[in-house]
Every structure is written in C-alpha cells, then in structure tokens.
Chains A and B, each alone.
Chain A
C-alpha cells in the first residue's frame, strides 16, 4: 500500500523567513512519482513539481527548492524568503507506475506567512 505523511499540520512564519515543509512517503514499488501541489484559498490545486524515483537530484525553481532522499523516503519542500502570497495549503503526493492514474495525497500542511 502507498501512503504519504505530512506531519506538519500548520506552520506560521514571518515574511522573509525560510520554511521547510516535510513529506515522508511509503511504497513498495520501485518506480514511482512524487509531487507537490499548492492549494490557495481559491481552492484550485496548482501543480508545482513532479520527480520520478530514479532522479534524486535536488531541484531549485526561484525561491522554491526540493530535496528528494530515497534513503529516508522523504521529499521535502523549502521556500526561501517567504512571501505573504505563499500562504496556502501544500500537498505532497505519490503515484506508482503500476497505477499511475491514481495520485495519493498527504493530508496537507497549511502555511501562513505573516507580514
């Protein structure tokens, strides 16, 4: 069975601070994909990143960076110099190659950036 755990239910930081959102996943499949989605108050899920299980290279996109470590089954997300517009619920998610139609989401981390 597959599972995604986001232990941080809510995080609140002051603007310009760096913040890391943790994600731990479980799967027995050797081929899988990991995702992060952002859900602002408007409700739409916004795709941020997808990594496949064979690519452990960390990725940086502007103020966003992702740290994928298979050894700890983690796929953490860091926002550098946070801004108020980053306030949202962030979901980590997993899909396995054998059932790539289905994305399994974590319960989300609500991030609040205070001005």
Chain B
C-alpha cells in the first residue's frame, strides 16, 4: 500500500498527558498537511509543511500543539497537556508541491481524552 499512513489509529489517554502521532506521506509528495475533524464536522486545517519547512499554521494550533517534519519525510504531531476538547480525529494528507495537485488523506488517528 503506497497511500498516506498514520499511526496509531486510535489513542486513548487521560487528560493532562502528552500524545504524539505519526504520519508517513506518499513517498514522492513533498507537501504534508495536518487537519483535525470533530464529530459531525468537516476537517479543519491545522498546519502544513513543504519538505521540512512548516509554512503555515492555523490559529487552531495552540501552543500546546507542535508539529515537525525533520527530514522532509514523515511528520509528527504532538499535543502536550491534553484537554477534553482535543478529542477528535487527526488527519494527515500529502500532495505534490504544485498547488493544482489534490491532497490525499490517511485513515486518521482518533484521539479520545478520558
């Protein structure tokens, strides 16, 4: 399978804990995106990378959230001191750098905060 891969599929943690998610994009894609999707809503943009550079961040991305893509390949999204409101599906997508190219999404990581 050569699609976007996300790990883990589901994460359950207690409020206040830190969590980290991983995304492996399609290999030739140099753009990588993170979105958050809450129940009954469409995905909301969080941030994106062009290679290893983080070029845009949404206001939704509070200071408890940090994303990295150190070698321009896989990316990690960390949430520190998790809160109930962080419960959501976190989706990763990738695309080629041409803005005309569609974004291809992974299966997502579902985060549940107890």
Residue ID in chain B nearest A102 by CB atoms: B45
| With A43-B89, A43-B108 as contacts: A101 and B55 at CB distance below 8 Å | yes
Size of A's binding interface in residues, CB under 8 A: 26
User: CA of A13 to CA of B93 in the docked complex: distance in angstroms?
Assistant: 31
- Chain A neighbourhood of B103, CB < 8 A: 47, 103
Residues of B within 8 A of A108 (CB): 40-42
When chains A and B are docked, how far (Å) is the Cα of A4 from the Cα of B43? 12
- What is the distance, in angstroms, from A30's C-beta to the closest C-beta of chain B? 15
> A107 vs B44: C-alpha distance in the bound complex, in angstroms?
10
In the bound complex, CA of A78 to CA of B41 (Å): 21
Q: Contact at A44–B107, with CB atoms within 8 Å? A: yes
Count of B interface residues, CB-CB < 8 Å? 26
Q: Are the C-beta atoms of B42 and A42 separated by less than 8 Å?
A: no
Q: Are A107 and B99 in contact (CB under 8 A)?
A: no
Q: Please tell me if the beta carbons of B56 and A42 are within 8 angstroms of each other in the complex.
A: no
For A92, give the chain B residue with the smallest CB separation: B42
Within 8 A of B (CB), among A86-100: 91, 93, 95, 97, 99-100
Q: Is A52 an interface residue (CB 8 A)?
A: yes
A59 to chain B, nearest CB (A): 14
Check if B74 is an interface residue, CB within 8 A of chain A. no
- Cβ distance A6 to chain B, nearest Cβ, rounded Å: 8
Report the bound CA distance from A55 to B105 in whole Å. 25
A42 to B48, CA, bound (A): 24
Q: Does A64 contact B (CB under 8 A)?
A: no
Contact B102 A105, beta carbon cutoff 8 Å: no
Residues of B within 8 A of A52 (CB): 100
A100→B100 CA distance, assembly (Å): 8
CB-based contact A105/B31 at 8 Å: no
B residues with a Cβ closer than 8 A to A are 31, 33, 35, 40-45, 48, 55-56, 58, 89, 91, 93, 99-100, 102-108, 110
Q: Can you add 13 more A-B contacts, CB < 8 Å, to A91-B42, A100-B99, A107-B42?
A: A42-B107, A43-B108, A44-B106, A45-B43, A47-B105, A52-B100, A95-B99, A100-B100, A102-B58, A103-B43, A103-B103, A106-B42, A107-B41
